[in-house]
Amino acid sequence: MGESLDNGPGGVVLTSVDALVNWSRGQSLWAFPMGTACCAMELIAASFSKFDFDRLGTFPRPDPRHTDVMILAGTITEKMKPAVRRLYDQMPDPKWVIAMGNCTVSGGIFYYDTYSVVRGADEFLPVDIYISGCPPRPESLQDGIVQLRELVKAESLSKKRTYDRPATLPRERDEDR
């Protein structure tokens, strides 16, 4: 984040306001879990002590007005789309979205057989992190949150967020190859 305490003059940390604010935002992402189908089960499993999201500073909250991150997990239908958008609009700025699961990312297996399934959350929301899988493992969600923390730390307070940046996908691990 900045100079260490030992290197700074008089025990003072030297850093920029951007680095300090983004460090604190990245360390305490409060998540609004929005589970609409099967992936919600993996989202629930991700909150168990085996995966321990608390150590990443990510705490689930039931109210979108107190959260930074919306985690969309599962199939989104056309009828559900306005409700999801309304919940997203209730979140305070700055806010981020994680699309978890093939159905949320691209409509999944239901998109081709059903008229009412949205092709992907990015049709109506600015998605920051995409996590594919049917359903994705909790480790993938952890990796997505770690990548979101890095994305948050790289932002600047002086520039307004734009949503035309390229999609960020979780890294492949060596054991997945």
Phi first, then psi: what are they for 70, rounded to 5°? -100, 125
CATH of the domain at 142: 3.40.50.12280
Cα 129 to chain center, whole Å?
6
Q: How many CB atoms are closer than 10 A to CB 123?
A: 11
Sheet harboring 69-73: ordered strands across?
59-60, 30-35, 69-73, 96-100, 129-131
Q: Is the pLDDT of residue 112 over 80?
A: no
Q: Is the pLDDT of residue 134 over 50?
A: yes
Which is it for the CA torsion 170, 148, 44, 91, positive or negative? Answer: negative
The reply to whether 174 falls in a domain is: no
The verdict on residue 10 lying in a domain is no
- 170 within a domain of the structure (yes/no): no
pLDDT value at residue 130 = 93
Whether residue 164 lies inside any domain: the answer is: no
Residue 121 lies in a domain: yes
Average pLDDT, the chain: 78
The whole-number pLDDT of residue 152 equals: 82
Residue with tokens 């030297």: 14
Would 12 be classed as within a structural domain?
no
Domain that holds residue 103: 31-156
Whether the full predicted model's pTM is greater than 0.85, yes or no, is no
CA-wise closest residue to 165 among 126, 111, 123: 126
Evaluate if residue 28 carries a pLDDT over 80.
Answer: no
Q: How far is CA 137 from CA 44, 48, 70, 101, 126, in A?
A: 11, 13, 18, 9, 23
Q: What are phi and psi of 71, to 5 degrees?
A: -105, 105
C-alpha–C-alpha distance, residues 144 and 77, integer Å = 24
Asked if the structure places residue 2 within a domain, the reply is: no
Instruction: Name the domain count of the chain.
Output: 1
How far apart, in whole angstroms, are the C-alpha atoms of residue 20 and residue 14?
A: 10
> What number is the average pLDDT over the span 103-118?
82
In a domain, 162, yes or no: no
